[in-house]
Chain A
Amino acid sequence: MTHEFKEPHETIERQRDQVADLRKSRNGLGFLAGVLGVTTALFGYLGYNQYVQNQAFRMATENHYQRSFNELSTNVNNMELEMSRLMASNSTNQAVTGLTEVSRQATQASANMGQLPLATLLLSRTNQFVNTVGDFSQNLAERKVDANTSLTTEEQSKIRDLHKQTAFLRDELNKMGEQLTTRKLTWVDLQRQARMQEQKGSKQQTAWYDRLWNKVLFTVAGQETETQAPPVLANFQFVETELQKYSPVEYDGRYSEQIKITPRGLGSGQITQEQAVQIAQSWIGQPYLQGHQINVTGEGKAAIPSYGISVVAKDNPNQNKINMDISKTGGHVIYMLKDRPVGTPTITRDDAAAVARDYLARRGFNNFEVTTVEEYQNIAVVTVVPKEGNVSLYPDKVKVRVAMDDKEVIGYDGTAYLTFHHNRNLSQPTISRDDARKRVSSQVAVTGDKLVLLAKDNYQEILCWEFNATRENMNYLVYINAQNGREEKILRVETTNAGKFIF
């Protein structure tokens, strides 16, 4: 019986071949392994580099937020401190310096708050509180300077109320500071949590893998899961709800919640949509309307409820559209805006002013005076005010936008006029022009004067003598109260290529 012995010679040869094959493939493998190794090392290095850079940026952002938060804490601390000092003061000068300092710290607190990466919702009431305290203090400081007395009992009690709320805010901020350190939280994390909270239950959920990743992060980092309210965010939420429980401080200023502006110039009678269309038609005028379509675009629920109207050319509905709002009460045009490219000017600013006056006169606005003309990108915006007798009524201003290439009026804004204009039966000035003139600084040269009605920040209106004055190439408008001679305001007038600007 013959074995199938392979010839030893063949076996050896085969074995040699196998080894040679192996070596070849091992070389191939080795080469591949080498390439892979180098590539991995390269990517590894790049990845690490990215990571290091990322960490650096993260740290810079985190430091920025930490600084803002710490500054905010300091500001609120200082506010509380100043207010407590006021509560023990008994003189005008302490009252004024203290109140001004509170106002200053409040401004900084608001600025720092605006740099924190939290949703507006978490900060709005807090920001409002800080701004109101600042405005209240500033207002009160101005009045104490005039009155030259120490704080009255009523003023003291208001300060006491505000002080209590400020102390509460300060304590909460301190608690948050502690939380940040003990739990090793970072603002960057809080930002992410805040955004997630905001998006909860909304149409666009974060992707499932994002949420899974966040869960992983949380468990690994040992923080709360997203189901519980995260610290610091919960604190801010608590502050928001607590501050809402206090009744707003009563005062006379810009942010005072007592100020409710009801439009006074609207007259009466509600109009229908069809009437709105007719009013738009007569406002724009017939020759223009040829080939144009008027549509009602919707209704607006702003302070002056309105119908929205659009006027488009039938053959070119996407260009040169006119948009208008007509008030439901009284059927007044609130504003009109036409967007079209404007070419190089062919008229001067004074011409534009005349065009504006004419436009208004033809629509029933007579006896209007031009106060300023601003020019930009070939468009002139002319501000005009009505007069009562010889008094210019600044709060009731109207703006007209004139295209300086062909004199077309492409904009009208009567919002202020419709809100504030009414028959005021103004009384005669108690201070005569000459007396008022004497109260203007002797450092300036007076070149003109007129009687005006000026509105302050809190919408309070005062009758004033307005004096044009100059000093060393700087132009001013100085306002002297016509009833008590107080120097109410000083404005600076700058004349540039674009017209006169008033600061």
Chain B
Amino acid sequence: MLARAIHGEARGEPYEGQVAVGAVILNRSKHPSFPNSVNGVIFQPGAFTAVDDGQIWTPMPEDASAVKAARDALAGWDPTGGCIYYWNPATATSQWIWSRPVVKTIGKHYFAK
């Protein structure tokens, strides 16, 4: 499931970006402001555009980098250092997300706590 979410959200991103998306999902599941399970985080209505518009179900080849990235994230790799938000500055539609302090940029996404 984690791999599908990464695939849906960060397909064209560099590998580090894909691991980072996985890490954000895992960080959310451990954070008190978010649902407590990976599935809870992924399927929270409105949380991920790829989930809301069905991109998460695009067919994913078995050797997609998203699968490797998911395993790395689950093994503890976190290039974001604990972030729980990320967005694409060119396409983000919500205004409040810009108030989060940006920790770093990976690929096309800003990551924030």
Contacts and interface: CB of A to CB of B under 8 A. Distances in A.
Contacts of B77: 335, 337, 399, 411, 413
Given A298-B104, A302-B80, A302-B81, 9 more contacts: A110-B35, A111-B36, A114-B34, A120-B34, A202-B92, A298-B105, A306-B81, A339-B16, A377-B71
A128 interface: yes
- Where chain B touches its partner, the secondary structure class is loop
B102 interface: yes
Interface string A285-329: 000000000000011111110101000000000000101010000
A70 B14 CA distance: 43
B46 A120 contact: yes
Interface of B: 14-16, 19, 32-37, 40-41, 43-47, 63, 65, 67-68, 71-72, 75-83, 91-96, 101-105, 113
Given A119-B46, A201-B95, A339-B15, A114 B35 contact: yes
B91 A117 contact: no
Given A107-B36, A115-B44, A323 B96 contact: no
A251 to B, nearest CB: 13
A12 interface: no
B94 A128 contact: no
A335 B77 CA distance: 8
Nearest to B105: A298
Interface of A: 107, 110-111, 113-121, 123-125, 127-128, 131-132, 135, 191, 194-195, 198-204, 255, 298-304, 306, 308, 321, 323, 325, 334-335, 337, 339, 374, 376-377, 379, 381, 399, 401, 411, 413, 415-416
Contacts, number: 129
A424 to B, nearest CB: 22
Given A135-B32, A191-B45, A374 B40 contact: no
- Where chain A touches its partner, the secondary structure class is mixed
B68 A202 contact: no
A302 B82 contact: yes
A337 B105 contact: no
Contacts of B81: 300, 302-304, 306, 325, 334, 415
Q: Which 10 A/B pairs are nearest by Cβ-Cβ distance?
A: A302-B81, A114-B35, A339-B15, A117-B45, A124-B33, A300-B104, A131-B32, A202-B95, A255-B32, A128-B32
Contact of A377 (B37, B40, B67, B96): B67
B33 A125 contact: yes
Contacts of A119: 46, 94
14 contacts: A113-B35, A114-B44, A119-B46, A120-B33, A124-B34, A127-B35, A198-B94, A198-B96, A301-B104, A321-B14, A334-B81, A337-B16, A337-B77, A339-B14
Contacts of B68: 376-377, 379
B36 A110 contact: yes
A409 to B, nearest CB: 14
Contacts of A413: 76-77
A161 B67 CA distance: 45
Given A198-B93, A199-B93, A339-B65, A325 B36 contact: no
Contacts of A194: 46
Contacts of A301: 101-104
A202 B94 contact: yes
Contacts of A115: 43-45
A300 B103 contact: yes
Contacts of A415: 78, 81
Contact of A399 (B43, B45, B47, B75): B75
A376 B68 CA distance: 8
A127 B14 CA distance: 33
A160 to B, nearest CB: 21
Contacts of A110: 35-36
B94 A114 contact: no
Given A114-B35, A120-B47, A415-B81, A299 B104 contact: yes
Contacts of A399: 75-77
B104 A120 contact: no
Contacts of A200: 95
B43 to A, nearest CB: 8
